[in-house]
Chains A and B, each alone.
Chain A
Amino acid sequence: MSPQKRVKNSQVQKRTSQVSGNYPTHLLAWEEKEDLNDSKYSLKRGQNNPVEDYGHADDQAEDALQIAVRYFEKGPVKTSQNKDKILEKHLKTVENVALKNGLAPEGIDILLNVALSGKFGSAVNTRILKCMIPTTLISEHSVVKAVSWLCVGKCSGSTKVLFYRWLVAMFDFIDHKEEINLLYGFFFASLQDDALCPYACHLLYLLTKKENVKPFRVRKLLDLQAKMGMQPHLQALLSLYKFFAPTLISVSLPARKKIYFKNSENLWKTALLAVKQRNQGPPPEPLKLMLGPAKVRPVKRKWNSYSVIPVLNSSGCSKECGKKGMILSNYLSSRELFPLEQLKSFPQLLKNIHCLELPSQMGAVLNNSLLLHYINCVKDESILLRLYHWLSQTLQEECIWYKVNNFEHEKEFANFLATINRAQCFLQEGFYSCETFLYKSLPLWDGFCCRSQFLQLVSWIPFNSFSEVKPLVFDHLAQLFFTSTIYFKSSVLQSLKELLQNWLLWLSVDIHMKPVMNSPLETTLGGSMNSVSELIHYVGWLSTTAMRLESNSTFLLHFILDFYEKVCDIYINYNLPLVVLFPPGIFYPALLSLDSSILNQLCYIMHRYRKNLTAAKKNELVQKTKSEFNFSSKTYQEFNHYLTAMVGCLWTSKPFQKGFYIDPDVLEKTGVAEYKNSLNLVHHPALLSYAVSFLLREWPEERTTVNMSSIRGKKWNWYLDYLFSEGLQGLKLFIRSSIHHSSVP
């Protein structure tokens, strides 16, 4: 956009904002200017407007527009000989400007008046109406004035129809709708006109508020329906009425119907897009003309629902029926409650949170993030119970393996689970229904159906006493784990990692809430920590066995170490007094792995363990008092043992000094005579290739005799830098924190 244009646009915006603020005086000023003769006028305008510096051509067009508008306002000139020509010229001017930049509210105000007052012929009125395209907005007053012309009966039927269509198309650009809503009765009366009826219906559909729905109107609409039969536009309006007043009317729409109104705005389609772009900001949400069950999937096998998740509907009669005089309460409550269908933004939710109307079927919240926020903070137990019952039953009924094996609907069920998982992730909290569903369905699961979605449910099991949940969930899971492929094992480990993370997050938030009463669940911190440590030991057990079953697969080891990356940082990251080390069955295969990335990850984890343990030790010293959460010396010993093994294998070339006995025969078979020097950063199987490339890069001339043992002293340090530069960051952190550089071999 050129700078000139931008200036002009900002001016336009300023003008419209003035219009809405102080409309009559401004219009007066505009008309006053018109009275001056042309040359003076343009001069004066230049003085009045400091930002009068846009292009000359545009300026001319503007002037021509003023003249044209003034011409139309005065009415047709009877005497002039070439009146048709002049008329055509002015019409063209208006059309060109309107299509290019749109018309200012004042221009639309005047021209609407002209078109509906019947000063010109029907053809001219049509052309004027067709180019009533706003630059940004239309003033509500102009519309009200225009409607008043309809009562005079000066315009033809076709003009009326076109005006209604225009009103529907431009509805979003009218600055206010309160006064237009006061004319509801007038628009309603025009339903009787057969030609107007479809468009009037559409307009009323856009305009109707709860308080507009009255018994006499319902009756009138039903009469019309009886007269005209099943018309889509009437259906739409009737179902909207039903939505607002379910106690007055009942209508059931065919499931597949989607369009209720012929596209009234298609005359202005391109123009509307232009206006929306001019108005910038987010384009106004297209009004949803799809009602009720429009979003449905093909009719389901089950009788009781169109789709798994109910459509969002505000609670209808269940509340209103509770009071005497349903209809009266209908109107009273409309002022107290904030209707669901108007809830579009978070600030709205905050403002109306005390008077929000709730959906008639609580399950609908799953598809609505704002309502999920609401149920997350609401204290009302019955809301949660409604959701609980609905979700439990739906999971049971939809589950393709729980009752009858019905695998045709796997995709549908997977989608449903995915929706639930999204909601749980959004709330950062698991639903209790899902937990009970897991209890019931996991023993029957084949480990294949909807795998990723179902395992995700596992990761959202609310925090629990582990020993209580173990027989219900984890024992069954272990059976599947051991008998399934390596990919299944990896997915299970992944979800268990997420489960651990979720539990840790909940606990770290909850840590300082002192238990108020005795409860069936563990509420003391000690009990909770116990539960977490049991989970970690369970995963350790799974992992150790899986490593043996999968013959130390590197792929699997990655997932296992990912889990321990969470475990090693519990003390620092979550502020929870817990350090659990990995079992030897994981540590040694990782230490002696052929894969450098595994070794690197192991180094990182050891580095973090060290950080956590030192932090814990420091805290213990500071607090002095003996707390129940001081780690036993066993944890430290265990860590030190691992650390010694690592330093021995990577640095000092003295692996496994203590507690290991290797049969000399076995050693002989391996052909490694000096095994004691065969494990360090240079000779470690995972790093050997690095050592070779290092030597070849630095001393290419010695290509024929690569001497590994030459890496020592200064070369050792260069080699270290080389390793770090190759991305072994975990190794770097480990060496920096755990090894003092005086001990360079």
Chain B
Amino acid sequence: MDSYESAPQHIASSRLKDYFIGATPLQKRLESVRKQTSFVPTPPRRKIPQCSQLQEDNDPQKVAFLLHKQWTLYSLTPLYKFSYTNLKEYASLLSAFIAAEKQKGLAVEVGEDFNIKVTFSTLLGMKGTQRDPEAFLVQILSKSQLPSENREHKVLWTGWFCCIFGDSLLETVSEDFTCVPLFLANGAETNTAIVGTWFQKTFDCYFSPLAINAFNLSWMAAMWTACKMDQYMAATEFLWSVPCSPQSLDISYAIHPEDAKALWDSVHKTPGEVTQEEVDLFMDCLYSHFHRHFKIHLSATRLVRVSTSVASAHTDGKIKILCHKYLIGVLAYLTELAIFQID
């Protein structure tokens, strides 16, 4: 009975020990998931997006390109062995992959001239902290048949990867990984699928569509209403969906942005921060106002879209960012949601 102290058991158990010590990234992940699952999924307070946190060296043309477009959101697990020095090679491999996928069965040589072109480029300065990895942009361009050099390539599809204030994720992976948990795509879904497949195969990562639930949409509504704007470009609009057959009923509720801001200011107490109570109160005020006029309890329906002058977001995981000033702020919240999904 006392003879179990043999060597093989020691070896077999050493790995178990590693986990108990809790020093490994994997263990840290587990701890963070436990915490998240056992408590309220989101912290009860967040910062109001501040004026441009964009760093000096960003390219205004590229940033302008990202605005006013509808992006479909995805969460993305860390990329394994991705290297910023190889973007050129990735471009040529991906374009060959796309060409091969488009003509199923026909092999193509890497580096061959196709009628499409793929580019990879970094989005300098698109980060929350210095630790955040550089954001990067992937584009599929169609090549014009005309020989003239100066003709612009037509952009067929765009996707970009970013990580804004991703500290909680960065802490839990080793250096072989690049964390860009938020992926935004614009263009045909077939192209998204091909690019996604290539990334998954090449960097052993996983894309999942990132939906935004009503709870998070209310947070967005509050945070974006709280942003100081020099000039409002669009009305603040909410869309609720009432599930009924044969067709669901949508209720649209538009408010003048200055009225919305006034309402917010009346419920807002802690400077620079948004708390859960404030979000709830803000939405409750809207509900009761609506009920007073239409006798409909909006709280019994489902919030599906929020549009403000800062950005608009749909529960399907679609976003359009309108205001250059708060780009980073919007992305920071989306990064947070993406990290929550991949945890």
Q: Which residues of A contact B (CB under 8 A)?
A: 218-219, 221-222, 225, 230, 234-235, 238-239, 241-242, 246-254, 257, 303-305, 310, 313, 316-319, 321-322, 326, 360-362, 377, 381-382, 384-386, 388-390, 392-394, 396-397, 403, 432, 435-436, 439-440, 462-463, 468, 471-472, 506, 508-513, 515-517, 519-521, 523, 572, 575, 615, 619
Decide if B107 touches A222 in the complex (CB within 8 Å).
yes
Are A462 and B19 neighbours in the complex by a CB distance under 8 Å?
A: yes
Closest 7 CB pairs of A and B: A303-B193, A251-B107, A250-B96, A389-B77, A238-B107, A393-B206, A250-B100
- Which of B19, B34, B89, B90 contacts A439, CB < 8 Å? B34
Beyond A250-B99, A251-B105, A382-B176, list 4 extra A-B contacts (CB 8 Å).
A250-B100, A361-B200, A521-B22, A572-B1
Are the CB atoms of B201 and A321 closer together than 8 Å? no
Which residue of chain A has its CB nearest to the CB of B94?
A250
B residues in contact (CB < 8 Å) with A:
1, 4-5, 9-10, 12-17, 19-26, 29-31, 33-34, 37-38, 77-78, 80-83, 86, 89-90, 93, 96-97, 99-101, 104-110, 173-174, 176-177, 189-190, 192-193, 196-197, 200-208, 211, 341-343
**Residue among A250, A392, A463, A520 having the largest count of chain B Cβ atoms under 10 Å:** A250
Pair B189/A303 contact, Cβ less than 8 Å: yes
Chain A residues in 8 Å Cβ range of B196: 303-304
Contacts of A303 in B (CB 8 A): 189-190, 192-193, 196-197
On chain A, the residues within 8 Å of B206 by CB distance are: 304, 389-390, 393-394, 397
In contact, B13 and A510 (Cβ under 8 angstroms): yes
- Which residues of A are found within 8 Å of B200, using beta-carbon distances? 304-305, 310, 361
B107 touches A381 (CB 8 A): no
CB closest chain-B residue, reference A575 = B4
Q: Is the CB of A472 within 8 A of B37?
A: yes
A322 touches B93 (CB 8 A): no
A317 touches B202 (CB 8 A): yes
Give the chain B neighbours of A506 by CB distance below 8 A.
13, 16
Q: What are 24 A-B pairs at a CB distance below 8 A?
A: A218-B109, A235-B107, A248-B110, A249-B109, A250-B107, A250-B108, A318-B204, A321-B83, A321-B89, A322-B86, A361-B200, A361-B204, A381-B24, A385-B173, A386-B80, A390-B204, A392-B77, A403-B211, A439-B37, A510-B17, A512-B10, A515-B20, A520-B31, A572-B1
Identify which of B17, B26, B83, B101 contacts A381 (C-beta below 8 A). Answer: B26
Interface centre among A248, A310, A394, A509 (most CB of B within 10 A): A509
A382 to B24, CA, bound (A): 10
How many Å lie between the Cα of A72 and that of B38 in the bound state? 85
A436 to B341, CA, bound (A): 12
Q: Is the CB of B93 within 8 A of A516?
A: no
Residues of B within 8 A of A251 (CB): 100, 105-108
Q: Min CB distance, A710 to chain B, in Å?
A: 46
Give the distance in Å from the alpha carbon of A393 to the alpha carbon of B205 in the complex.
10
**Complex: how many Å from CA A439 to CA B39?**
12
Q: How far is the CA of A77 from the CA of B101 in the complex (A)?
A: 61
Verify A509–B16 contact, CB threshold 8 A. Answer: yes
Judge whether B21 and A519 touch: CB under 8 Å.
yes
Name B's interface SS.
helix
B21 contacts A396, C-beta separation under 8 Å: no
In the assembled complex, the Cα of A321 lies from the Cα of B12 at a distance in Å of 36
Q: Which A residues are in CB contact (< 8 Å) with B21?
A: 516-517, 519, 523
Which A residues lie within 8 Å of B201 (CB)?
A: 310, 313, 316, 360-361
Residues of A close to B13: CB separation below 8 A: 506, 509-510, 513
- Which chain A residues lie closer than 8 Å to B104 at the CB level? 252-254
Query: Separation in Å of the B319 CB from the closest CB of chain A?
Result: 19
Chain B contacts of A242 at CB under 8 A? Answer: 107
- Whole-angstrom CA separation of A384 from B27 in the bound complex: 11
B225 to chain A, nearest CB (A): 29
Contact of B109 among A248, A394, A519 (CB under 8 A): A248
Given A254-B104, A397-B208, verify A432-B1 contact (CB < 8 Å): no
Given A386-B80, A432-B26, A436-B30, decide whether A225 and B90 contact each other with a Cβ distance below 8 A.
Answer: no
Residues in B with CB closer than 8 Å to A382 are: 80, 174, 176-177
Q: How far, in angstroms, from A386 to B79 measured CA to CA in the complex?
A: 9
Q: Which residues of A contact B77 (CB under 8 A)?
A: 389-390, 392-393
Distance in angstroms between the alpha carbons of A695 and B81 in the assembled complex:
80
In the complex, which residues of chain B have a beta carbon less than 8 angstroms from the beta carbon of A393?
77, 206, 208, 342
Residues of chain B with a CB closer than 8 A to A403's CB: 211
Q: Which residues of B contact A246 (CB under 8 A)?
A: 93
Query: CA of A305 to CA of B204 in the docked complex: distance in angstroms?
Result: 12
Q: A472 to B34, Cβ gap below 8 A? A: yes
- Asked whether A250 lies within 8 Å of B93 as measured between CB atoms, the reply is yes
Shortest Cβ distance from residue B208 to the other chain A in the assembled complex, whole angstroms = 5
B106 touches A230 (CB 8 A): yes
CB neighbours (8 Å) of A471 from chain B are 38
Query: Shortest beta-carbon distance, A330 to chain B, in Å?
Result: 12
Contact A362 B204 (CB under 8 A): yes
Complex interface: chain B residues within 8 A of A322 (CB): 81, 83, 86
* Contact present for B14 and A513 (CB under 8 Å): yes
Interchain CB contact under 8 A, A389 and B25: no
Cα A305 to Cα B211 in complex, Å, equals 20
Chain B residues, CB < 8 A from A230? 105-106
Minimum CB–CB distance from B110 to chain A (whole Å) comes to 6
Query: Closest residue of chain A to B192, judged by CB?
Result: A303
CB pair B173–A253 under 8 Å, yes or no, is no
A361–B31 alpha-carbon span in the complex (Å): 25
CB distance from A241 to the nearest CB of B (A): 8
Alpha-carbon distance A318/B200, docked complex (angstroms): 11
Complex Cα–Cα for A326 and B85 (A): 13
Please determine whether A385 and B193 come into contact, CB atoms closer than 8 angstroms: no
B208 cross-chain contacts in A, Cβ below 8 A: 393, 396-397
Q: A509-B16, A523-B20 are in contact. Are A225 and B174 (CB under 8 A)?
A: no
Contact check, A235 vs B16: say whether CB atoms are below 8 A apart: no
Across the interface, A432 reaches (CB within 8 A) one of B22, B29, B109, B190, namely B29
Query: Would A304 and B197 be within 8 Å (CB), given that A222-B107, A247-B93 are in contact?
Result: yes
Residues of B within 8 A of A252 (CB): 97, 100-101, 104-105
Q: Roughly how many angstroms separate A254 CA and B173 CA in the complex, as a whole number? A: 36
Contact present for A386 and B204 (CB under 8 Å): yes
The answer to whether A360 touches B204 (Cβ under 8 A) is: yes
Cα A619 to Cα B177 with chains together (Å)? 52
Write the nearest CB–CB distance from A375 to chain B, whole angstroms.
11
- Give Cα distance in the complex from A241 to B109, angstroms: 11
**Smallest CB gap from B32: residue in A:** A436
Contact of A304 among B106, B173, B193 (CB under 8 A): B193
Q: In the complex the two chains form, is B81's CB within 8 Å of A222's CB?
A: no
Q: Is the Cβ of A219 less than 8 Å from the Cβ of B109?
A: yes
Instruction: List chain A residues, Cβ under 8 A from B33.
Output: 436, 439
A432 to B22, CA, bound (A): 13
Chain A residue with the shortest CB-CB distance to B83? A322
Q: Cβ of A510 and Cβ of B4 under 8 Å apart?
A: no
Chain A nearest CB, measured from B76 CB (Å): 9
CB-CB under 8 A from B14, the residues of chain A are 513
B19: which A residues are within 8 A, CB to CB? 462, 521
Q: Identify the closest chain B residue to A436 (Cβ).
A: B33
- Is A512 a contact of B1 with CB atoms below 8 Å? no
A520 touches which of B9, B22, B89, B202 (Cβ 8 Å): B22
CB distance from A400 to the nearest CB of B (A): 15
Q: Which residues of B contact A397 (CB under 8 A)?
A: 206, 208
- Residues of chain B within 8 A (CB-CB) of A510 are 13, 16-17
Contact B23 A250 (CB under 8 A): no
Closest residue on chain A to residue B211 by CB atoms? A403
By the criterion CB–CB under 8 Å, are A517 and B23 in contact? yes
CA A516 – CA B17 in complex, angstroms?
9
A254 to B103, CA, bound (A): 9
Could you say which residues of chain A place their CB within 8 Å of the CB of B342? 389, 392-393
Cα A311 to Cα B83 in complex, Å, equals 24
The answer to whether B90 touches A388, judged by C-beta atoms less than 8 angstroms apart, is no
| Residues from chain B with Cβ under 8 Å of A512 in the complex | 5, 9-10
**Complex CA–CA separation, A222 to B16 (angstroms):** 51
- B190 contacts which chain A residues (CB < 8 A)? 303
